[in-house]
Structure 1
């Protein structure tokens, strides 16, 4: 069993290691990028990476406070699904809309790796090998696709 401090410290160490590992990798446009805190430039549209006790995941998350705009952003992403899947070279899960306790709609497209544990350092190479190509592919997708989202907000 891990204490909260151990969990927090281990996750912080992992993301620091991931950041150092990814630091020399430029974006699709050839510029430096903070891969862990990737900025899409579109408010309320995020590329997220997770590393937890029982899985790792990469996702595109739309969490707009205006339900209509959130749905519009998701429809645009859905229209670009062939481009996204071509860049990723795999199929991701298009999850049903979730509603938070505050009534916000959350749209999510994700890929998960099960049975890895960020708290065990021996899992880190597998987690990094899972996250790295997918966040790079999302960046390559976004370098072309972002223009289709700019006029929607």
Structure 2
């Protein structure tokens, strides 16, 4: 049976090594995807198309809130560049609500809500729901597709 001094020593030592163990653990896929979505929102706020497209696969597909769609990273990049040129005050924010990762760790589904607005070059204020498909390729999470639905 362990005496109180031994127990105190074991607890003290285990608390010293806990930070080392935590630092060597791999980050959870959900945490990584959430961080990438946050970075993408920040890139939209800065109107930085390269930052928005950073996580897209070459054959990325984006379906906009009105049902229009673009396929291929280059086509979607051109669409964002045009949107920022036509609407210099455009803002979009995606608010992540849920991430589900496939048991094999190679696919993930993200869902949440979005809001957007602009007043210059015409006006829009609305939002709705979105979903995104993530694919792990070469050990990195990348977006395969995003679907936006305008609900208000």
Shorter-chain TM range is under 0.3
Structure of higher CA gyration radius: 2
Q: Which has the higher contact order (CA 8 A, sep 6+)?
A: 1
TM-score of the pair, normalised by structure 1: 0.27
Structure with more helix by fraction: 1
